Structure 1
Amino acid sequence: MRRRPNHRALTALVLVAAVWASNNPAWGQGMALPPSSVSRPAAPSTEPQNPSPSSGFTPRADTPPSLQNAPPPRSQPSAPGAATGGATGRVTSGGQLPRGAGQEHRVYDLRPYTGYLTKHDRPHQAVVDWIVRETGTDVWHTEPFGFMTADRDELSVYHTNEMHQVIAGIVDRFVAGDKDPQVMNLKVMTVGNPNWRSRAHPLMQHVHVQTPGIQAWLLTKENAALVMSLLRARTDVRQVQAVDLIMHNGQTEKLASLRGRNYVLNVKPSPAGWPPYEPETGEIQEGYQLELSPLLSVDGRTLDCVINANIDQVDKFVDVDLELPLPNQQIHRTKVEVPQLVSWRLHERFRWPSDMVLLLSCGVVASPDRSQSAMPLLNFSAITGTTAGRADALMFVEFRGKASQNLTQAPLVPQVSSRVSAPNRGRY
């Protein structure tokens, strides 16, 4: 008959061995490393340490707060190709950045520009945005290796010499250009019939545009005044917006005119029991949103401008009849509405002499600025050749120089008319 082991005796022996090992460090640590080992005793440090007990990570004094508690390091694979449980990356030799294409690290001082924009939260973001518009995004994510980062004081770039030349040209337009606020005049109009071109065509210089359906012209300020006079003499013209935008060079200004339209989105059972069903309503924001971002050249003779416009119009609501059952075996008849939307988008970059006026025509597009006849039977759309809710949307963009030189009695603030408008298109 075999005797069972005495667990209490084994436990006592383990405790005695542990106490003896704690009093004899050499036995507890095992065999010491030979003198030829790469292990070296750490030199005593006088700096305060705050090691992480789980990872052994000691943050430096300049370590960001978000990295103070570093995650424990992943265990390295024991053999090539062994799974690690996740991507850990690898440290390049010596921690040096790649320089195969002759990359250079340069720092550009932005304080001559950002120092004037004390009321802007992130004025340096405009510099980064315009650099990306000029260079594209691919050069920062493909070969050769490069990076760009910025704060309010400086722009740090690591790239080739050719790329630095492009970036220096953009930065100069900010730091060496005019720091005073500038005035951009914007007029948005709708014309019921596009035949206004027949009289205005000799006064305009056609400009190539990449966006399909968009036309652009350059006009001298004298010819722009003549075209405006011709348009205002028509009965099918509505001026949707006329505004002087006070902007700093390179920054973005936003305008919006939206209104909500409710419709029956769904029909659901009523929790009260009567009426048996109740409508569930939805809302669609109808109107336009416009962004303008101009950038002057150093000498002020050329203007680059990015125009971003979005317009959404509810053309009509299509009714769908529903037959819903009732407890008394009868039918409850109701309907839901399906919105028929007409949307239009513009994102285009234009460049023209600052002493001329840019005129954009979006073609006959959706126009939230649609008038409703008091007498529906008197519909003159068939006679005038227009379609309800459609118009030729025009935009006049004019640079008027420094705000201090545009002294007017009326304040230079957006003057939005009571009617809402349509938009424009373009290239980034």
Structure 2
Amino acid sequence: MDRRSAMFLTLLGGLVPRGLLAQSNKRRASPASTKGRGTALAPATRRPRTDDPVDTDSEAAEEEVPPNLPAEPGQQWRNYDISHYTSLATNQNNPQNAIIEWIFRRTTQAEWHGDKIAVLSASRTQVRAYNNANVLKKVDEVVERFTNAEHDILSIRVRFVAAVDSRWRYAVYSRLTPVGSGPQGQQVWTLKTEDSAFALAQMQIHQGFKLLTDRNVEMVNGQTLVIKTSESRGYTGGLQRESAAGLGYQPRTEQLEEGVTLKLSPLLTYEGDSLDAAIELTANTVKNFHRTRVIAPREVGPSELTIDVPEVTESRLNQTVKSWPLKQTLLISAGIQPGILQSKSGLFNLRIPGTVPTGTELLVFIEAEAQGRAASARDRE
């Protein structure tokens, strides 16, 4: 290059604004360390954030929207590394689904299905979110509680109890702390462990009760535990035509399931001394089968047959209990479920009043303790 060309290029560079030249080099945000717990709501893989409005020029807003996703004003993109958490749940097919479910509980599904384009998806290695700053802050909080928990493993004990009646409350009612209620009058309390032991002793000694289930399970923080106990009740649900010629219609045997199903998803708080618990409790009771006579076309035998009409009750509770202290008992009353998982035939199968259960109350005792070791300092960075 001769001297005249060099001078020309130098002059041209001085006339071009610096900002225009800077656009050719993208500024990359360096991830900031979140050592310690100075900001409790910060995600494990991101720097601490404040409640101030998000600055679009800040490092927290530097993650680029994927090129195939239409740009939406006010929406921002986030990636969260969850590989450490999912590696703990080796016996789960899709452990990342628990994070998505808790994000929905925290944000509600409506915030992901509005007028603006929004994204929420998860693989075993990362959660991807595209939404406004307020919603993303809630996502940050949820992901933090999974990936940066004080403990990874919880020990859960679940007991289903059929109490003969509701009078077990007499001596312990003042020790119950109400924390929720259900649509069919279900009640939820917390109480000290020694008080729950006292309540169980009162039922066993003075009024009688039946322990339907007693299970101890270790589970990964945030995952869903399913405890189920049930029995099949056979009955004649209708008629069916036999293939053999000349028999006509015959009674058809069917099955109903009576029992209790508990789905529990406990998630530790930041401090690690209490947890939020998403609870879904279903109880089905087959109270009775009412025998009914019907006339059916038959070539052989009487035309009059008997079928059963089932009388069934169901109780459903679906809610999230917040700030349940560890090492305290969560007690749920599913209401009166007469004779659930017990015989209801009565004396000599005659169902004489006083010989069949009428006031059985279904109770669920749940205890939780932090079992796994605390997350290491490396995981908290």
TM-score, normalised by the number of residues in structure 2: 0.72
Matched residue pairs, number? 307
Question: Partner of 2:362 in structure 1?
Answer: 393
Runs of at least 5 residues in structure 2 that lack an aligned partner in the other structure = 1-66, 375-381
Residue 99 of structure 1 pairs with residue 68 of structure 2: no
Distance 1:358 1:396 in 2: 6
The equivalent position to 1:349 in structure 2, one of 298, 320, 324, is 320
Q: Secondary structure at the match of 1:233?
A: helix
Distance 2:252 2:148 in 1: 57
Distance 1:224 1:327 in 2: 62
Distance 1:371 1:264 in 2: 18
CA-CA distance at 1:158 after TM superposition: 0.6
Distance 2:372 2:353 in 1: 43
User: Where do residues 107-118 of structure 1 align in structure 2 (5 Å cutoff)?
Assistant: 107-118=79-90
Question: Partner of 1:120 in structure 2?
Answer: 92
Structure 2 residue identity aligned to 1:262? G
Q: Deviations over 1:173-215 (max 9, x none)?
A: 1110045321011121111111121211122223342534012
Distance 1:290 1:268 in 2: 36
User: Where do residues 310-325 of structure 1 align in structure 2 (5 Å cutoff)?
Assistant: 310-325=282-297
**8 A Cα contact 2:76 2:130, kept in partner:** yes
CA-CA distance at 1:147 after TM superposition: 1.2
The runs of 4+ residues in structure 1 deviating greater than 6 Å are: 377-381
Question: Partner of 1:251 in structure 2?
Answer: 223
Distance 1:157 1:204 in 2: 41
Question: Partner of 2:378 in structure 1?
Answer: none
Question: Partner of 1:213 in structure 2?
Answer: 185
Question: Partner of 2:308 in structure 1?
Answer: 337
The equivalent position to 1:286 in structure 2, one of 255, 258, 281, is 258
Question: Partner of 1:62 in structure 2?
Answer: none
**8 A Cα contact 2:162 2:340, kept in partner:** no
Runs of at least 5 residues in structure 1 that lack an aligned partner in the other structure = 1-93, 406-428
Distance 2:229 2:279 in 1: 16
CA-CA distance at 1:341 after TM superposition: 1.6
Residue 195 of structure 1 pairs with residue 167 of structure 2: yes
CA-CA distance at 1:400 after TM superposition: 2.1
Distance 1:245 1:135 in 2: 29
Closer, same or farther: CA 179–116 of 1 in aligned 2, 3 Å: farther
CA-CA distance at 1:331 after TM superposition: 5.6
Question: Partner of 2:28 in structure 1?
Answer: none
CA-CA distance at 1:374 after TM superposition: 7.5
**8 A Cα contact 1:178 1:249, kept in partner:** no
- RMSD of aligned Cα (Å): 2.8
Structure 2 residue identity aligned to 1:189? V
Q: Secondary structure at the match of 1:199?
A: coil
Distance 1:151 1:220 in 2: 39
Structure 1 residue identity aligned to 2:314? S
CA-CA distance at 1:217 after TM superposition: 1.8
User: Where do residues 38-57 of structure 1 align in structure 2 (5 Å cutoff)?
Assistant: none
**8 A Cα contact 1:184 1:246, kept in partner:** yes
CA-CA distance at 1:398 after TM superposition: 1.2
User: Where do residues 6-405 of structure 1 align in structure 2 (5 Å cutoff)?
Assistant: 97-100=70-73, 102-178=74-150, 180-325=152-297, 332-351=303-322, 352-372=324-344, 375-376=347-348, 382=354, 388=357, 390-402=359-371
Distance 2:349 2:120 in 1: 62
Structure 1 residue identity aligned to 2:78? R
Distance 1:110 1:377 in 2: 58
Distance 1:277 1:208 in 2: 51
- Structure label with greater radius of gyration: 1
**8 A Cα contact 1:344 1:366, kept in partner:** no
Structure 1 residue identity aligned to 2:176? M
CA-CA distance at 1:226 after TM superposition: 2.3
TM-score, normalised by the number of residues in structure 1: 0.65
Q: Deviations over 1:246-274 (max 9, x none)?
A: 11000011122232222222334443334
Q: Secondary structure at the match of 1:234?
A: helix
**8 A Cα contact 2:88 2:220, kept in partner:** no
Closer, same or farther: CA 404–114 of 1 in aligned 2, 3 Å: closer
Distance 2:70 2:106 in 1: 25
Q: Deviations over 1:357-399 (max 9, x none)?
A: 211112212543223577449989649xxx6265111111111
